Amino acid sequence: MHYVGIDLAWGDRSPTGVAVLDADGRLVHVSVAQTDDEVVAAVTPYTSEACLVAVDAPLVVTNATGNRPAEAALNRDFARFDAGAHPSNTGKAELAGTPRGARLVKRLGLDMNPASGRARRAIEVYPHPATVVLFRLGRTLKYKNKQGRSLETLRAALLELAGHLEGLATADPPMTLTGNPAWEGLVTRLREARRKSELRVVEDQVDAVVCAYVARYADAHPGRTTTYGDLATGYIVTPTLPEDLVPEPRARAGRAEPSEDEAPPTEPDPVRAAVRAYVRDRPALEEATRGYVRLVTDLLDEAGINYLAVTGRTKSVESFAGKVERLLDRGVAPEDLEEQITDQVGVRVVTYVLTDVAAVADLLGDQLRVLDDRDMGRETASEGRWGYASRHVLVQVDEDSARVADDPARAALAGRTASVQVRTVLQHAWAEFEHDIRYKGSVPEEHANDLDRRFALAAGLLELADREFETIRDRLRVSVVEAAEEDTDPRIDATDLAAFLAGRFPDAGWSRTDHYAWVSSLLLELGITSLKELGSVLQEVDSAAITEQMAYKYPPGAVRRLDDALLASFGERYVALHGNAHRVDLLRARLARLSGA
């Protein structure tokens, strides 16, 4: 099943946006076409089998003047939200014969009866009322080019719409846009546009995405969808307007304060105001998310701590809106919302074993300002049960430390808060599966208790498995040392080096596999080509003194321990190695620390 959105231009001299979602709501295509042939070519790969094509253009027009009955009915509901439809009639040259939309639908062989149950069909839609309903807008977003609207005004509104659309990743039904290169390219072009014409090309494709989602929504929730009009006189399909959604009051310039007998103006909706502010700030938050992922990854690599993955995400617009509503319901003041929603930037570190979770948390505490640190697994255990286990560390880059370190990357993050989740791969698997079942699935009430019991059982088994993995790693560390002692091969490869370092630094954690290979190349630059030579070098190094000088506040990995030992032994020669060119300043700072400067 594919859901196709077509933001159809009136004629073939203007761009037409095309977007396609797959059966799971993932964006698989977005582009611009111009002629009918180009539109048909773009959508044909997705319409040969089951599909629902949503076209933003009249499909049926029979009235000679004025509005179609569908437009009149829709306008009675949506005109007060600035989402009314323009009149369509055969008096307009482009609608005098068969409308362009109907011609395309016929070429594609689709049934355009809105009540049809056929596998391949098309419907007429209109993005403006759809966005009002889907995003609970008090009025439409003003991203259409009209007199008096500046480039920046249009850009801000279109960015807000893009943010809302990305937020549908957690909606029902979901739509996934982030991660799609074409979509991310669109958003980049939107931010970088220098002319309104450049925005227009992006706007058509964004509208097409709206249309595609309306098709998916109508297919998933026919009971929450309204069809204005009928096949005989023309129709428009859109999500149903909620009874409690009211228009946002218009700003009245030049008005004095209301008199005592005049009703005061309605206060603006704090949820909408907060969401709009968040959407405006979201590009900066996305950049901060990428920055924090780079920073945490660099810290882990520098410390030599083993990990599986470091990922990040910026809180979706819909998730932010939901959090705002919950906080307001609890009595939080609107001006305090930003301070309360601390997970706008999220980073996740997945490790292999439990001791590395603690090591990562200690590292963050040493290198960043920690605002909060919660061990969710310990909290769950203290309640005498099994369940969600993860370390949640709320961090912030300290402005003073960023300035002292003369690190532009850190300085760019100063003042931004990030919520860092640290968990083992088994804890991660449990959390992801549990979230998917509970929040995206439908659990019948009669099975809820049994489901809770089974999730608790799985959590307990995984906790035991985590402990066993810890034991396995500790025993392997001993066994690889014994194996290394019997190995007479003078070459230093990553496996041999890992075994050697496990014996040399028995209290150090394992480092990432690729880091052993990396430090082997540094040894080669130093002319050290055997474990015997390396052992001789390290014999002259006072490891205890290095540990005291570095004052580690986290358990450094084996590669970091070797790195510091080589730095202490070779000094500036080690700093100047080609393989260290990317971290000269960092190494010099550490060398000064080792020298007691």
DSSP 16-30: EEEEEE-TTSBEEEE
Q: Given a cut of 80, is residue 276 above it in pLDDT?
A: no
Angstrom distance (rounded) from CA 250 to CA 446: 49
Q: Given a cut of 60, is residue 490 above it in pLDDT?
A: no
Q: Which of left, alpha, beta for 179 (phi over 0: left; psi -120 to 50: alpha)? A: left
Name the percent of the chain lying above pLDDT 90.
38
Q: Given a cut of 90, is residue 451 above it in pLDDT?
A: no
Domains of the chain: 2-239 (no CATH), 270-472 (3.30.460.10), 494-595 (no CATH)
pLDDT tens readout for residues 492-524: 877 788 888 887 888 787 788 888 888 888 998
Q: Given a cut of 50, is residue 263 above it in pLDDT?
A: no
What does the pLDDT read at residue 193?
A: 86
Q: Given a cut of 50, is residue 255 above it in pLDDT?
A: no
Tell me the one-letter amino acid at 491.
R
pLDDT band, residue 20 (cuts 50/70/90): very high
299-308, 325-334, 338-347: range with lowest mean pLDDT: 325-334
What does the pLDDT read at residue 258?
A: 44
What does the pLDDT read at residue 438?
A: 59
User: Using alpha carbons only, what angle is made at residue 395 by residues 391 and 399, rounded to the nearest 5 degrees?
Assistant: 165
What does the pLDDT read at residue 115?
A: 92
Q: Given a cut of 50, is residue 82 above it in pLDDT?
A: yes
Q: What is the per-residue DSSP string for 115-173?
A: T---SEEEEEB-HHHHHHHHTT-SS----S--TT--HHHHHHHHHHHHHHHHHGGGSSS
Angstrom distance (rounded) from CA 84 to CA 104: 25
pLDDT band, residue 125 (cuts 50/70/90): very high
List the beta strands (DSSP E) in 156-308: 225-230, 234-239
pLDDT band, residue 478 (cuts 50/70/90): low
* Per-residue buried b or exposed e for 209-228, using 16+ beta carbons within 10 Å of the residue's own CB: bbbbbbbbbbbeeeeebbbb
* Per-residue buried b or exposed e for 337-356, using 16+ beta carbons within 10 Å of the residue's own CB: beeebbbbbbbbbbbbbbbb
pLDDT band, residue 410 (cuts 50/70/90): confident
pLDDT tens readout for residues 57-78: 999 999 999 999 999 999 999 9
**519 neighbors 559 (Cβ within 8 angstroms):** yes
Rg (CA), the chain: 30
Structure tokens at 187: 């958003």
φ and ψ at 121, to 5 degrees? -145, 170
